[in-house]
Structure 1
Amino acid sequence: MSSLVFYKLLAIFIAVAIGWFVGRMRWLGGPTGSGAEASDPARVLSNVAFYIFVPALLFRTTARLDLASLPWLTLAAFFMPVLLLLLLVYGVQRWRSKVNEAPASPSVQAITVTFGNTLQIGVPLAAGIFGEAGLAIHITVISMHALTLLTVLTLLVELDLARARPEKGGLAGTLALTVRNTVIHPVVLPVLAGLALNASGIALPAVLDEVLQMLGTAVVPLCLTLIGMSLAYYGWPKAWRGVLGLAALKLLLLPALVLLVAHWGFGLSGIPLSVIVMAAALPTGSNALIFAQRYRCQEGETTAAIVASTLLFVLTAPLWLAVLSAI
């Protein structure tokens, strides 16, 4: 692993440690209330990110995306196995879920297993190991990563939440509520608006583009400190089996699945294959925690999975690089 990637990992852990220290010292206050009304500074900041910073990032990304120049074959080779594992984990967890379990639980576990840290770790990894050619491919993966996975997961979680609410309209009422909550959503709505602006051919005004870029840059540092604050407020989970299982699926099964589909299914090789396999091998990204906090479900387990997978990535990254060099 290159020194650039190592220093990025170290910087991430320092940012998380700062967030943990702030939460531990209760400088922003402590948790208040209980049950559905429970709140804490980490959740408040998470809502700020979910309703302001992430929508700005997604809208700007989709509005500026050059759809015609994207390497669709490479993207398909990455996203098909990722979405397959997402739906598999979601389906298994939904089948295993108990009656009184939170409806959002299957979707939260699915995002923890599939949503990688493509920005903070992925960019320096691609640039340091694969150079400009690899970084260009990785950037295209980033451009579709959040809007693809978050849109699918939002649809799934809103459908489960609609099912959990007793609606007088039966199936029609459930579907109508799902569609409304999926479209009028801080993730999906900016994506649709950005794609509409993109299709119209109208360029973003310079001032608006500057504002969106400024807001979007706040996502990374805020999310990293939120991980540390969440550890301080929620603590480590008592049972580590589930956390390590999620980390193993993210660090081992997902890249293996992408390698299988991309190399033997799509015939990819060389730098394109290496880039998307390493993108799949990245640890869980901080957006998984924002998603969990949005739906008030498994925040502690998701936080621990992010930290554990980032620590274990130091061991699994050289393993996957060795496998790719052998192929």
Structure 2
Amino acid sequence: MWTLPTAPARADGDTGRMTVVVFYKLLAIFIAVAIGWFVGRMRWLGDSQAGGSGGDPARVLSSAAFYIFVPALLFRTTARVEFAALPWATLTAFFVPVIGLMLGVYGVQRWRGAGRAAVAVPSVQAITASFGNTLQVGVPLAAGVFGEAGLAIHITVVSLHALTLLTVLTLLVELDLARERARDQAESLLRTLAITVRNTVIHPVVLPVLAGLLFNAAGFTLPAVLDEVLQMLGTAVVPLCLTLIGMSLAYYGWPRAWRGALGLAALKLLLLPALVLLLAHWGLGLSGMPLGVIVMMAALPAGSNALIFAQRYRCMEGETTAAIVISTLCFVLSAPLWLALLAYLKL
């Protein structure tokens, strides 16, 4: 039975060191964001131009991440993951509420007509409310609180996190775009479906996932050199995304409708971990360390991949950036509350 802070594996000194490590990680994140903001503010990489994306350095760097670094990370992950050894009960307890909230936000925004001005609005808001910062914040948190055994569970969930959420959201947004295109151009249903399938499959997120799954299913092993190249490219995702957040603040500014960003942050920090806790423990009977790991993973602040997704479809960059910054700031307060609740319930 996992408890905090009285578990034998985590002494008071360990808990204190964990707090320091997480604090330093959060501080490092804000410094990287500040560097990106300063570079954007000084316009060292050029100025944003309303006439096109060629003069917008934030979008250029976002495209580099979306077309080069993220595909390398996703392909390497899917090509190496051992599906037979995955803890499917734990994964189900995490991904069902996460995908459920994601589809719920998407559906509500579609019902409210949020996609009329920009077709991708429901999808962008859905990914912002559900996609967590599982690497920069999640890894040190899991290692510090739960030790190596908890970190192993965390990494297992991470291996499916981006490819699952990004693939589902990509399918939704491409369906919306195809629907809008068919409405404007009076295309036939068959042509609309063909374009949707093509745009969904030949996509910088979905295509490397499918290729990695086929590579994995065939029983192949990545050659050492190719694995090294993919790992090198994949490691660029984190620093690039963090500096992009700062650059986006400099170029797009703080959104006027900041309450929307605050609402997305609240969904991510409060509602999502509550849903995971309810389903995982009272629905599927999970307890102890696996339960604690996935609840805290759900409680992580919004991840920077949401901004790349927003910039990919040129939609809500300012609000997405604000939601990431707000949720990361508020995580300093919300994380201890969730840890205290888990310890109090003694699940």
| Displacement of 1:238 | 1.3
Shift of 1:39: 4.4
* 1:163 aligns to 2:182 (yes or no): no
The residue type paired with residue 112 of structure 1 is T
Residue of structure 2 in register with 1:125 after alignment: 141
For 1:182, which of 165, 175, 200 is the aligned residue? 200
What root-mean-square deviation, in Å, do the aligned CA atoms of Structure 1 and Structure 2 show? 1.2
Matches within 5 A, 1:140-219: 140-166=156-182, 167-219=185-237
Number of the residue aligned with 2:41: 24
Q: How does 1:284-303 map to 2 (within 5 A)?
A: 284-303=302-321
Deviation of 1:170 after TM superposition, in Å, equals 2.6
Aligned partner of 1:226 in structure 2 is: 244
* TM-superposition CA deviations, 1:158-180 (whole Å, max 9, x none): 00000110355432222221111
Aligned to 1:50: 66
Change (3 A) 1:99 1:135: closer
The answer for the alignment partner of 1:313 in structure 2 is 331
Matched, 1:137 2:153: yes
Distance in 1 separating the partners of 2:115 and 2:319: 20
- Greater Cα offset, 84-93 or 25-34: 25-34
Distance 1:157 1:67 in 2: 28
Partners in 2 of 1:91 and 1:39 — Cα distance? 34
Q: Percent identity?
A: 79
Superposed displacement of residue 240, structure 1 = 1.8
Matched with 1:282 is 300
Q: Tell whether 2:279 aligns with 1:235.
A: no
SS at match of 2:134: coil
- 2:3 corresponds in structure 1 to none
Q: Which amino acid aligns with 2:312?
A: R
How far apart are 1:121 and its partner, in Å? 0.2
- State the Cα distance separating 1:202 from its structure 2 match: 1.0
In 1: Cα distance, 2:192 partner to 2:339 partner: 46
SS at match of 1:13: helix
**Unmatched 5+ stretches in structure 2:** 1-17
Looking at structure 2, the residues matched to 197 and 99 of structure 1 have their Cα atoms a distance apart, in angstroms, of 37
- The answer for unaligned runs of 5 or more in structure 1 is none
Change (3 A) 1:70 1:203: same
For the residue of structure 2 that corresponds to 1:186, the secondary structure is coil
Matched residue count: 326
Query: 1:214 and 1:143 mapped to 2: Cα distance?
Result: 17
Which amino acid in structure 1 is aligned with residue 278 of structure 2?
A: L
Residue from 250, 256, 265 that aligns with 1:247:
265
Give the structure-2-normalised TM-score.
0.92
* Matched letter for residue 211 of structure 1: V
Contact 2:62 2:311 in 1 (8 A): yes
Displacement of 1:313 in angstroms is: 0.2
| Alpha carbons 2:37, 2:245 under 8 Å: kept | yes
Query: How far apart are the structure 1 equivalents of 2:55 and 2:294?
Result: 38
Distance 1:212 1:99 in 2: 36
Q: Counterpart of 2:105?
A: 89
Partner of 2:21: 4
1:261 maps onto 2:276 in alignment: no
**Any idea what the Cα deviations from partners look like across 1:218-245, whole Å, max 9, x if unmatched?**
0000000000000000000112211110
The normalised TM-score by structure 1 is 0.98
Taking the aligned partners of 1:25 and 1:236, their CA distance within structure 2 comes to 17
Instruction: Say if 1:19 and 1:244 are closer, same or farther in 2 by CA, change over 3 A.
Output: same
Structure 2 residue identity aligned to 1:88 = G
Deviation per residue, 1:115-165 (Å, 9 max, x gap): 000000000000000001100000011000000000000000000000110
Q: Match for 2:121: what amino acid? A: S
